Amino acid sequence: MSLSPAKRDLLARMLREKGAGRPGDTQPLGPRAADASVPLYPNQEGLWFIDQLKPGEANYNVPGTVRLRGALDVAALERALGAVVARHESLRTTLDADADGTPHQIIAAPTAFELDVVDLTGHPATERRAEATRLAEEEARTPFDLATGPLMRARLIRLAADDHVFLVNFFHGITDGVSMGVFSRELHALYAAFIAGQPDPLPPVPLQYGDFAAWHAARERSPWLEREVDAWRTRLAGDPAPLELPTDRPRPPVRSYAGAHEALVIPRDLADRTQTMARTVNASLYQALLAAYAVVLRRATKQTDLCIGSTFGNRNTRDLEAVIGFFANTLPLRIDASGDPTFAELLARVRDVNLEAHDHHEVPFTTLVKRLRPERNLGENPFYRVVFDYLTPDHNPAVYGYGLRSTVRESVKLGPVDVTPMDVECGVSRFDIAVFLWDMPDGLVGTIEYSTELFEAATVRRLFECMEQVLRTVIDAPDTRVGALIAAIDETERTHDAEREASAKQSMRAKLGRVRRRAIRPSSPEQSS
């Protein structure tokens, strides 16, 4: 029987939750011993190690900024924030090393939460929004001290009595995309209860992130780890070459994290028809999008062995779905784009690679790198330079952003207050190019995060346009061969180049005409006589 990707993932989780895991698995996940030291989860340790090498940088900040319009109860918001922090140990955690240099989590007891409030009502009305944006961008670029904390900051900026900007910022080592959704949902529920004079309505959190980290540390000492790493060793044999995208500027010997974002939209109709086409080969919408992206990458790089990063949630029991922490695990998907397959055939390859990765996605990327020891360059991510993610509604992008740009403008409610995302450019990209798409009512919306050291904005926009061109072709003709798709893109590019050249020549002729007219125009009555 062939199961869809979603059903296969659900079955695997059900088996794990019932204790029917593979031989060698550790005891089921549960609360850790009260007196136990709390280790770092390997991916968390990876971020801690990067901070030790290059302290004082903000490359792993996760900021979110929203506009709040309406009668905001600041005291209730502050109380709701305090309640969320009290519920989740991760929001009260710092990361430090003990005497022998081993890093671990230090979890503080809940204390009263104080919301930082900045009042801009004394500024001219025309300057308040710009100043709020400046403060939000300054906050997004302010690093965290992992040892002293706190690793979550919140600030409220008052523009008027009924107009505020609310911003939060997290160190990535204590949160991820799904956690941002948990945070916003709980904050909304608590605020609504408190302004109504009701008690905390939320059930207790069944597990904490420290429970997961301690359980995983024991798991990595079991036979489970070697079996899972062996599967990845086979898949990544030969240490696949990094993708060499043509860049607008030379690749520096050591890359910084300087970056920017461009907004993306795939219309609802195109997304739905892509999903319908994908079902013909028992694939998902995400897998079809990834296959189209692979076509564009093959054309751009001339490579057929494509390694693309993709993020897995790693919340392996239902009890972890309501926990805030750094569970996300970005792993390399190695796609064979060789030969001249039809798009449907390439999609089947992508599906199989994605499903195989699902079977072994619980190995933390940091552990994988330690065990496989790929060739590494300073400042380069091992295995992949590009990332492609299709994010579920659990990431809640309409509320706290998590990299979302101006594509989403729908408001949600915080009690009676309208909540609208704000654009705040962090100036960071951890990869050459990373595509993030969210499934929203009006279509797939999201962002391309890209390295400004390597690319111009127009270049990354064109990559996405090429991907959309592939989708528009294959929704009706999935048997189109990859070579024909690439040839069609090449022809479109030639047409665009010719149009751009003609437009540039026309602009130059117009400019020269203005110069000539100015040269022969009399400059005074005396000269014209």
pLDDT digits 0-9 by tens, 422-446: 888 889 999 999 999 988 888 998 8
Domain assignment of residue 525, yes or no: no
Using 50, 70 and 90 to split pLDDT, how confident is the model at 253?
confident
Structure-token pair, residue 427 = 């100036």
- Positive or negative CA dihedral for 473, 471, 263, 491? negative
Angle at 461 between CA 460 and CA 466, to 5 degrees: 95
* Contact (Cβ atoms closer than 8 angstroms) between residue 87 and residue 209: no
Residue 517: the pLDDT is 65
Q: Position 305: which residue type?
A: D
389 strand-pairing partners = 436
Residue 60: the pLDDT is 95
- From the CB of residue 452, how many other CB atoms can be counted at a distance below 10 Å? 18
Q: Which of 7-11, 155-159, 409-413, 418-422 has the highest mean pLDDT?
A: 155-159
| Same-domain pairing of 53 and 169 | yes
- Mean pLDDT within 156-181: 95
Report the candidate in 395, 383, 388, 353 with the shortest Cα–Cα distance to residue 464. Answer: 388
pLDDT > 90: percent of the chain: 71
* Burial track 361-393 (b if 16+ CB lie within 10 A, e otherwise): bbbbbbbbbeeeeeeeeeebbbbbbbbbbbbee
Place of tokens 């590494």: 376
Using 50, 70 and 90 to split pLDDT, how confident is the model at 483?
very high
| Same-domain pairing of 152 and 96 | yes
Q: Position 356: which residue type?
A: E
| Cα separation, 233 vs 412, whole angstroms | 45
Using 50, 70 and 90 to split pLDDT, how confident is the model at 287?
very high
Weakest-pLDDT range from 256-265, 404-413, 444-453: 404-413
| Same-domain pairing of 405 and 271 | yes
| Same-domain pairing of 315 and 429 | yes
Domain assignment of residue 1, yes or no: no
| Same-domain pairing of 195 and 274 | no
Domain assignment of residue 516, yes or no: no
Before 110, cis peptide (omega within 30)? no
| Cα separation, 403 vs 177, whole angstroms | 10
- 102-108: list long-range contacts, CB under 8 Å, 24+ apart: 103/40, 103/45, 103/48, 103/49, 104/37, 104/38, 104/39, 104/40, 105/38, 105/39, 105/40, 105/44, 105/210, 105/213, 106/38, 107/38, 107/210, 108/149
Residue 13: the pLDDT is 47
Domain assignment of residue 161, yes or no: yes
Using 50, 70 and 90 to split pLDDT, how confident is the model at 515?
low
Residue 408: the pLDDT is 43
- Positive or negative CA dihedral for 274, 275, 280, 281? positive
Domain assignment of residue 330, yes or no: yes
Write out the residue range of the structural domain in which residue 488 sits: 224-245+256-492
The pLDDT mean for the chain works out to 88
Using 50, 70 and 90 to split pLDDT, how confident is the model at 34?
confident
Residue 235: the pLDDT is 96
| Same-domain pairing of 196 and 72 | yes
* Contact (Cβ atoms closer than 8 angstroms) between residue 422 and residue 65: yes
Element (H, E) at 157: strand 152-160
68 strand-pairing partners = 164, 419
* Contact (Cβ atoms closer than 8 angstroms) between residue 282 and residue 344: no
Question: Looking at residue 305, which CATH number applies to its domain?
Answer: 3.30.559.30
| Same-domain pairing of 59 and 178 | yes
Structure-token pair, residue 113 = 């939460």
| Same-domain pairing of 131 and 36 | yes
pLDDT > 70: percent of the chain: 85
Report the candidate in 269, 270, 268, 286 with the shortest Cα–Cα distance to residue 278. Answer: 286
Q: Is the confidence at residue 211, as pLDDT, over 50?
A: yes
Weakest-pLDDT range from 22-31, 250-259, 264-273: 22-31
Residue 14: the pLDDT is 47
| Same-domain pairing of 314 and 238 | yes
Q: Is the confidence at residue 348, as pLDDT, over 60?
A: yes
Domain assignment of residue 522, yes or no: no
Report the candidate in 316, 308, 312, 347 with the shortest Cα–Cα distance to residue 330. Answer: 312
| Same-domain pairing of 87 and 183 | yes
Structure-token pair, residue 39 = 């280790």
Residue 62: the pLDDT is 93
pLDDT digits 0-9 by tens, 92-101: 999 999 988 9
Please give the model's pTM, rounded to 2 decimal places: 0.88
Residue 421: the pLDDT is 86
Element (H, E) at 48: helix 42-53
| Cα separation, 38 vs 140, whole angstroms | 28
Q: Is the confidence at residue 305, as pLDDT, over 90?
A: yes
Answer left, alpha or beta for residue 108, where phi above 0 means left and psi between -120 and 50 means alpha: beta
- From the CB of residue 523, how many other CB atoms can be counted at a distance below 10 Å? 8
Q: Is the confidence at residue 396, as pLDDT, over 80?
A: no
* Contact (Cβ atoms closer than 8 angstroms) between residue 115 and residue 74: yes
Q: How many domains does the chain have?
A: 2
Question: Looking at residue 135, which CATH number applies to its domain?
Answer: 3.30.559.10
Domain assignment of residue 505, yes or no: no
* Contact (Cβ atoms closer than 8 angstroms) between residue 479 and residue 341: no
Domain assignment of residue 36, yes or no: yes
- Mean pLDDT within 194-213: 96
pLDDT digits 0-9 by tens, 37-88: 899 999 999 999 999 998 999 999 999 999 999 999 999 999 999 999 999 9
Weakest-pLDDT range from 28-42, 222-236, 302-316: 28-42
| Same-domain pairing of 173 and 289 | no
pLDDT digits 0-9 by tens, 445-464: 889 999 999 999 999 999 99
| Same-domain pairing of 431 and 340 | yes
- Mean pLDDT within 258-287: 95
- From the CB of residue 55, how many other CB atoms can be counted at a distance below 10 Å? 11
All residues at 6 or more sequence positions from 313 whose CB lies less than 8 Å from its CB, including other chains:
178, 327, 328, 329
- From the CB of residue 460, how many other CB atoms can be counted at a distance below 10 Å? 25
* Contact (Cβ atoms closer than 8 angstroms) between residue 10 and residue 68: no
